Amino acid sequence: MNRLLSVVAATLLATVSLGAGAMSHGGAMSDEEKAEKMEACKKMDPMKADDKMKAECKKLEEMADKKMDDKKMDDKK
């Protein structure tokens, strides 16, 4: 009985660990998807866009700005 409980616990732990790893990598956008989204943001009409689209565009712009700042800091070194 003890051995069965240990096997079940180890199996559960392995399943949870693999599931968490898969979830952490599942939602990342590729560079191609980011480029397409940025292009859509540039073409977006702010008066007609919904709040979700505006928020996504703002997030992408902030990420691009941060990346540019990091690159400038690396160039100064």
- Which range has the worst mean pLDDT, 4-8, 28-32, 44-48, 57-61? 28-32
Q: By the 8 A CB rule, do 76 and 60 touch?
A: no
Two tokens at 27? Answer: 């939602």
Rounded Cα distance between 63 and 41, Å, is 14
Q: What pLDDT is stored for residue 76 in this prediction?
A: 63
User: Would you place residue 55 in the very low, low, confident or very high pLDDT band (cuts 50, 70, 90)?
Assistant: confident
pTM (2 d.p.): 0.45
Q: What pLDDT is stored for residue 1 in this prediction?
A: 83
Rounded Cα distance between 54 and 61, Å, is 11
DSSP string, 19-49: HHHHHHHHSPPPHHHHHHHHHHHHH--TTT-
Q: What pLDDT is stored for residue 36 in this prediction?
A: 86
Rounded Cα distance between 3 and 49, Å, is 59
